[in-house]
Chain A
Amino acid sequence: MFQEPHKFTGKLFIVEGIDGSGKSTQLRLLHSWLEAQGYPVFMTEWNSSQLVKQTTKEGKKKKTLTPTTFSLLHATDFADRLAYQILPPLKAGMIVLADRYAYTAFSRDVVRGVHPSWVRKVYDFAVKPDLAFYFKVPLPIAIERILSGRAKLKYYEAGMDLNLSHSLEESFKIFQGMILKEYDRMIEEFGLSVIDATLEIQEQQEIVREIVAENLKGFSTKRRNYAKRNKVFWRRFAIPENRRA
């Protein structure tokens, strides 16, 4: 299922990249741009569902998570968000923007040690994105961005569970380097759109918008009546183009 394009009327655009690649910034900018044009947009973030939040938090705190439970917890989170946050807007003809997608699992969980083919099969129920942007950045730049801007690295974030190094910072560097390699491997496998994340923020955004605009040609479920608060209640629901008389 993950291999084939979806049949929903909406659009799914996702961003991927290692920590410090600047992908979230780019997604926010894309969001504003799309909304300004009148598209109904819905945002969803990796690992944000309420269902397993507490469990993940506890497991991380107690450090009892294994590569497999770590992977499955994220898959559960994803399944829940797919059912509640991704599929409904897609079916409603909206644009869904996802900060990280299954590819995050394919890189991170595989580095942790789960079987690459297993984790791909687990996510087989995922919807294939219309566009998947990969913000490619050399390791030193990403590390520099993270270490200067963030308070303190966390245990799992730094990949400390892999026993790569006793130093949090050193472990983080090695871990991110390994993830980067997995991402690079996926570019071809999944046809990711690579964005050079060393460019200036506006330059990157320009490229992203160009690609998105190209993809949105012929797509016109723009916000119409419902935002205008017409008094006739049914006008609040956008009617797809092809259903109009």
Chain B
Amino acid sequence: MPRGTKFFGDGLPYLKTGELKGKLIALEGSDGVGRSTQIDLLQEWLEVQGYGVVVTGWTRSNLMSRTIEMAKNGNMLDRMTFSLLYATDFADRLENQILPALRSGFVVIADRYIYTAFARDAVRDPDMRWIKDVFGFAPVPDLVCYLRIDVENLIPRVIESGGMNYWESGMDLHVSDNIFDSFRKYQKGLIEAYDKMAEEYGFEVLDARRSVQEIQEDLRTRIESIIKRGGPQGNIVPLPGASGRGKEGGGLKTSALEIETRIQTVLNPVKSSSSEGPLAGEEKSAPPLAGLKPNPPREASILPFSTGGNPLDDFPKD
């Protein structure tokens, strides 16, 4: 087992990875919450700083992506088969993409991580022991950011950006005969599962009802501290020759104006790769909510978030 790398379970005994110099950052959150938009912005921001970035997407492995698409379009799959398809996809990306990148010092951003499999399995069977065992070979990320939204705010976004699909609605569970009610119940179940995991695994919970810019700033603050923290694997160093903007202190700070510009460049060009679709309606669909506190500023040495009270308290109980 590679030294310094923590796994959820039994790990990968046959693999001798050297020291993992990079950082693994996972973004979780409901379908349509805006993960891809945020990741595009993060990637650009990090690359400008000179960090090598690899983005890895759920079900996007060379080995499995087509099979999973086919399976979703065709057969009825039972819970175990579906979860194992996900696990195979993840294992392929882990060994052929994520670990090599971490070994060479990249910042790896995972668009969804194994918690996605946990959540969808939890909705189908509350006993999560099996699914957790299956993913025992997964390394524990350095940071998990959970973009949290409540289902009522999520629905208009999803409808605006292309509508609800069969699997995102958990239609296979037959909780309702129409897609709207099914989507609502299913996504609500997923959010509940994520909330539970947020406490169990210490996710950084980010309020995803805010504007793209606010969320991005929030994400950057948290990621910054992880990248600079060092920890057992030491600091990762930006590539030489990269733009040395403010190398000493606050090297990663970016002004709100800069973020705004980046958002424009990411959102506006002809762009269809984002599965979340355009988020132009962001401001509209995330109305300011009374009683919503801004996230407190963070110190460079981050404390476990559980010490600051339950961040989920800010949300209305669905």
A binds B: yes
Q: CB within 8 Å of B: which residues of A? A: 51-52, 54-55, 58-59, 64-69, 72-73, 75-76, 79-80, 82-83, 112-115, 117-118, 121-122, 124-125
25 contacts between A and B (CB under 8 A): A54-B67, A55-B64, A55-B66, A55-B67, A58-B63, A64-B63, A64-B92, A66-B92, A67-B12, A68-B12, A68-B91, A68-B95, A72-B84, A72-B87, A73-B88, A76-B84, A79-B78, A79-B81, A80-B77, A83-B77, A83-B81, A113-B15, A117-B10, A118-B136, A125-B130
Question: Across the interface, do A114 and B88 meet the contact criterion of CB distance under 8 Å?
Answer: no
The CA of A112 and the CA of B137, in the complex, are separated in Å by: 15
What residue in chain A is nearest B92 (Cβ atoms)?
A: A69
Choose from B14, B75, B88 the contact partner of A69 (Cβ within 8 Å): B88
B57 interface residue, CB < 8 Å from A? no
Choose from B66, B71, B134, B137 the contact partner of A51 (Cβ within 8 Å): B71
Choose from A59, A64, A72, A118 the contact partner of B10 (Cβ within 8 Å): A118
Interface of A, helix, strand, loop or mixed by DSSP: helix
Choose from B10, B11, B63 the contact partner of A55 (Cβ within 8 Å): B63
Question: Across the interface, do A64 and B11 meet the contact criterion of CB distance under 8 Å?
Answer: no
The CA of A82 and the CA of B85, in the complex, are separated in Å by: 15
The CA of A228 and the CA of B85, in the complex, are separated in Å by: 42
B260 interface residue, CB < 8 Å from A? no
The CA of A54 and the CA of B67, in the complex, are separated in Å by: 8
The CA of A173 and the CA of B75, in the complex, are separated in Å by: 39
Tell me the residues in window 51-90 of chain B with beta carbons closer than 8 Å to chain A beta carbons. 62-64, 66-67, 71, 75, 77-78, 80-81, 84-85, 87-88
Choose from B77, B92, B133 the contact partner of A121 (Cβ within 8 Å): B133
- Count how many chain B residues have C-beta atoms less than 8 Å from C-beta atoms of the other chain: 32
Q: With both chains docked as a complex, state the minimum distance between the C-beta of A119 and any C-beta of chain B, in angstroms.
A: 9
5 interchain residue pairs of minimum CB distance: A113-B14, A115-B10, A121-B133, A118-B10, A72-B88
The CA of A128 and the CA of B96, in the complex, are separated in Å by: 34
Question: Across the interface, do A66 and B95 meet the contact criterion of CB distance under 8 Å?
Answer: yes
Question: Across the interface, do A69 and B81 meet the contact criterion of CB distance under 8 Å?
Answer: no
Q: With both chains docked as a complex, state the minimum distance between the C-beta of B13 and any C-beta of chain A, in angstroms.
A: 5
Contacts of B11 on A, CB cut-off 8 Å?
Answer: 115
> Besides the contacts A58-B63, A82-B80, A122-B84, what 16 more A-B pairs have beta carbons closer than 8 Å?
A64-B92, A72-B87, A73-B88, A75-B87, A76-B88, A80-B77, A80-B81, A83-B80, A112-B14, A113-B14, A114-B12, A114-B14, A118-B10, A118-B133, A121-B133, A124-B130
Q: With both chains docked as a complex, state the minimum distance between the C-beta of B291 and any C-beta of chain A, in angstroms.
A: 44
The CA of A117 and the CA of B137, in the complex, are separated in Å by: 12
Q: With both chains docked as a complex, state the minimum distance between the C-beta of B300 and any C-beta of chain A, in angstroms.
A: 36
What residue in chain A is nearest B63 (Cβ atoms)?
A: A59
Question: Across the interface, do A69 and B95 meet the contact criterion of CB distance under 8 Å?
Answer: yes
Interface of B, helix, strand, loop or mixed by DSSP: helix
Contacts of B88 on A, CB cut-off 8 Å?
Answer: 52, 69, 72-73, 76
The CA of A82 and the CA of B92, in the complex, are separated in Å by: 24
B9 interface residue, CB < 8 Å from A? yes
Contacts of A64 on B, CB cut-off 8 Å?
Answer: 62-63, 92, 96
Question: Across the interface, do B9 and A118 meet the contact criterion of CB distance under 8 Å?
Answer: yes
The CA of A147 and the CA of B254, in the complex, are separated in Å by: 66
Q: With both chains docked as a complex, state the minimum distance between the C-beta of B138 and any C-beta of chain A, in angstroms.
A: 10
Question: Across the interface, do A122 and B81 meet the contact criterion of CB distance under 8 Å?
Answer: no
Contacts of A66 on B, CB cut-off 8 Å?
Answer: 91-92, 95-96
Contacts of A51 on B, CB cut-off 8 Å?
Answer: 67, 71, 75, 77, 81
Q: With both chains docked as a complex, state the minimum distance between the C-beta of A74 and any C-beta of chain B, in angstroms.
A: 10
Question: Across the interface, do A121 and B137 meet the contact criterion of CB distance under 8 Å?
Answer: no
Question: Across the interface, do A67 and B14 meet the contact criterion of CB distance under 8 Å?
Answer: yes
Contacts of A59 on B, CB cut-off 8 Å?
Answer: 63
Contacts of A80 on B, CB cut-off 8 Å?
Answer: 77-78, 81
Q: With both chains docked as a complex, state the minimum distance between the C-beta of B122 and any C-beta of chain A, in angstroms.
A: 16
Contacts of B137 on A, CB cut-off 8 Å?
Answer: 68, 114-115, 118
Q: With both chains docked as a complex, state the minimum distance between the C-beta of A46 and any C-beta of chain B, in angstroms.
A: 15
The CA of A66 and the CA of B62, in the complex, are separated in Å by: 13
What residue in chain A is nearest B11 (Cβ atoms)?
A: A115
Q: With both chains docked as a complex, state the minimum distance between the C-beta of A1 and any C-beta of chain B, in angstroms.
A: 9
Question: Across the interface, do A113 and B13 meet the contact criterion of CB distance under 8 Å?
Answer: yes
Residue from A51, A65, A67, A69 with most neighbouring chain B CB atoms (10 Å): A69
Q: With both chains docked as a complex, state the minimum distance between the C-beta of B5 and any C-beta of chain A, in angstroms.
A: 15
Type the 1/0 row for B13-31, where 1 means its CB is closer than 8 Å to any CB of A: 1110000000000000000
